[in-house]
């Protein structure tokens, strides 16, 4: 049990003292402290909606077990926040920057970090359409003054919605705010610490679980400037393993070619149907309701074949026709990667039309789709390692040949490929020796 000398020992979720604190169990055999005021947040209608939003959305087409929810993930991130605070609270510099009230705001922000998520949020956000708010900004919609959740925060926690939103979406610039944001969203944050292992567990793969979480958490300290996290030299290997775990999870799960096929089919469907949709209403729906909405809107349109292939009674995913990367057709890869979603859709339609001419067969405008990575980068390497013997902080990249090599080879470019997908019957019509890159080059 925690000792009362800890600066945050009066926070019930950390002290776990008395009858008020129970536990809620989540996979895998994880006992999460559950006080009455945490329960009040979890039981609110705004938080309960996360039960109906899956964590990995379309990945379940490839990994059947990947049906876990944002609800479960939020509890795991909250648990990590407690572990981080207990470790960091032993660092006098951290305790001098982050007050007990600030620590409670972080606990709430950890629970609510995905409160603004809507179904299929990441595939939609990755399209980078001007009409789409980031889900962190959309969190404000569920933290309005009249919401049940906001009233719980004020009455049970003494915390305002604005305090929580400031951790989720930066507005202030105090040392405490920067430090807490680095815990929630940074190179070794509580979000990644949960989803890597949780996604790995539910997908039935080992990759995201093969790093020493306890060792990494126990090595956490404040960085030299006092506005972010660092680790002691004892946590260096664990940090390397976490970076590598993320690389492998992107390679084998998040950017698995069949997962990307499903994602591309969904993205094209959403792009075509978007003018007919009430986005404000859509973003408040459960995942099953949104699926029904899309299927209904798609009736009589070319994208009906896509929504039926994704959500109908039989699974029909587009198949790979070609794949471009920094290792194959790099100039074409670079050129396609910089195109916006509407440009990719238009290019896909032109490519489909040209391919129809080549094979002498009429095709639907969505029979051929192009999948290109979004512009933002996925992996950060900016974390410092403190060496006690010399009392100096050095960037992880400088002291880790593994991390340095991954940074220099541009992680995202290695993992994320540009792919051309086609309806299964179309691929069967194309000769084996057909040069797709030549055809697409003519259309770019």
| Six token digits for residue 97 | 């920057």
pLDDT digits (tens, 9 = 90+) for 224-235: 999 999 999 999
> Quick one: average pLDDT of 184-201?
95
Residue 55 has pLDDT above 50, yes or no: yes
- Evaluate if residue 277 carries a pLDDT over 80: yes
Using the 8-state DSSP alphabet, how is residue 328 labeled?
B
pLDDT band at 18 (very low <50, low <70, confident <90, very high): low
Domain boundaries, the chain: 12-255+379-398, 257-375+416-443
Its CATH class, for the domain covering 12-255+379-398, is: mainly alpha
Give me the pLDDT at residue 404, please.
82
Q: With a cut of 80, say whether residue 133 has pLDDT above it.
A: no
Residue 7: how many other CB atoms lie within 10 Å: 20
Least confident interval from 19-33, 183-197, 239-253? 19-33
The percent of residues in the chain predicted with pLDDT above 90, rounded, is 75
Of the candidates 181, 160, 179, 158, which has an alpha carbon nearest to the alpha carbon of residue 169? Answer: 181
Q: Identify the band that residue 109 occupies on the pLDDT scale cut at 50, 70 and 90.
A: very high
**Nearest in space to 239 (alpha carbons), one of 306, 274, 187, 184:** 187
Task: Decide if 249 contacts 256 (C-beta within 8 A).
Answer: no
Q: Which residue has the higher pLDDT, 54 or 18?
A: 54
Q: Tokens at residue 379, please?
A: 């992996």
Work out the pLDDT band at 271, boundaries 50, 70, 90.
Answer: very high
Nearest alpha-carbon partner for 108 in 159, 46, 51, 35: 159
What are the tokens at 366?
A: 């969505």
Give the rounded percent of residues in the chain with a pLDDT score beyond 70. 96
Helix axes 175-184 and 161-168, enclosed angle (nearest 10): 70
3 pLDDT more than 50: no
Would you list the DSSP string of 390-417? TTEEEEHHHH-HHHHHHHHTTHHHHH--
CB 69 within 8 A of CB 49: no
pTM reported for the whole predicted model: 0.93
Question: Is the predicted pLDDT of residue 170 greater than 60, yes or no?
Answer: yes
Mean pLDDT confidence for 399-418: 80
Separation between Cα atoms, residue 262 and residue 281, nearest integer Å: 24
Both tokens of residue 276?
């007919």
Statement: residue 183 has pLDDT above 80: yes
The CA distance from 36 to 40, in Å, is 6
Query: What per-residue confidence (pLDDT) applies to 2?
Result: 46
270 vs 272: CA distance, rounded Å = 5
Retrieve residue 113's tokens: 């970090």
What the block records as the tokens of 272 is 């075509």
Q: How large is the average pLDDT for residues 119-137?
A: 84
| pLDDT(394) > 90 | yes
CB 245 within 8 A of CB 207: yes
57-103: per-residue pLDDT in tens? 999 999 999 999 999 999 999 999 999 999 999 999 999 999 999 99
């Amino acid at each position: 049990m925690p000792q009362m000398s800890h600066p945050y020992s009066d926070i019930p979720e950390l002290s776990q003292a008395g009858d008020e604190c129970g536990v809620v169990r989540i996979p895998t055999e994880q006992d999460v402290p559950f006080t009455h005021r945490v329960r009040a947040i979890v039981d609110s209608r705004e938080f309960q909606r996360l039960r109906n939003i899956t964590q990995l959305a379309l990945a379940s087409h490839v990994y059947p077990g990947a049906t876990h929810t944002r609800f479960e993930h939020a509890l795991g991130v909250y648990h990590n926040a407690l572990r981080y605070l207990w470790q960091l609270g032993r660092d006098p510099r951290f305790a001098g920057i982050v007050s007990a009230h600030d620590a409670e705001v972080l606990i709430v922000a950890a629970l609510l970090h995905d409160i603004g998520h809507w179904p299929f949020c990441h595939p939609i956000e990755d399209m980078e359409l001007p009409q789409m708010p980031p889900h962190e900004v959309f969190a404000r919609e569920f933290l309005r003054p009249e919401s049940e959740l906001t009233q719980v925060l004020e009455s049970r926690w003494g915390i305002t919605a604005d305090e929580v939103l400031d951790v989720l979406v930066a507005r202030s610039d105090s040392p405490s705010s920067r430090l807490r944001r680095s815990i929630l969203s940074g190179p070794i944050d509580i979000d990644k610490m949960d989803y890597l292992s949780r996604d790995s567990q539910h997908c039935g793969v080992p990759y995201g679980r093969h790093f020493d979480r306890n060792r990494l958490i126990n090595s956490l300290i404040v960085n030299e400037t006092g506005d972010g996290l660092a680790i002691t030299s004892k946590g260096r290997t664990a940090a390397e393993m976490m970076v590598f775990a993320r690389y492998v999870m992107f390679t084998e799960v998040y950017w698995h070619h069949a997962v990307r096929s499903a994602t591309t089919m969904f993205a094209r469907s959403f792009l075509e149907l978007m003018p007919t949709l009430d986005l404000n209403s859509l973003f408040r729906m459960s995942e099953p309701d949104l699926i029904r909405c899309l299927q209904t809107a798609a009736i009589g349109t070319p994208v009906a074949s896509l929504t039926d292939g994704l959500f109908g009674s039989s699974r029909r995913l587009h198949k790979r026709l070609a794949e471009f990367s920094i290792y194959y057709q790099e100039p074409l890869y670079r050129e396609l990667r910089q195109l916006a979603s509407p440009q990719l859709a238009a290019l896909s339609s032109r490519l489909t039309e040209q391919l129809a001419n080549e094979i002498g067969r009429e095709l639907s405008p969505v029979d051929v789709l192009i999948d290109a990575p979004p512009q933002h980068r996925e992996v950060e390497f900016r974390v410092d390692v403190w060496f006690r013997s010399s009392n100096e902080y050095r960037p992880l990249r400088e002291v880790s040949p593994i991390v340095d090599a991954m940074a220099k080879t541009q992680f995202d470019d290695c993992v994320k490929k540009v792919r051309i997908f086609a309806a299964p019957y179309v691929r069967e019509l194309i000769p084996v020796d057909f040069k797709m890159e030549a055809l697409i080059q003519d259309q770019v």
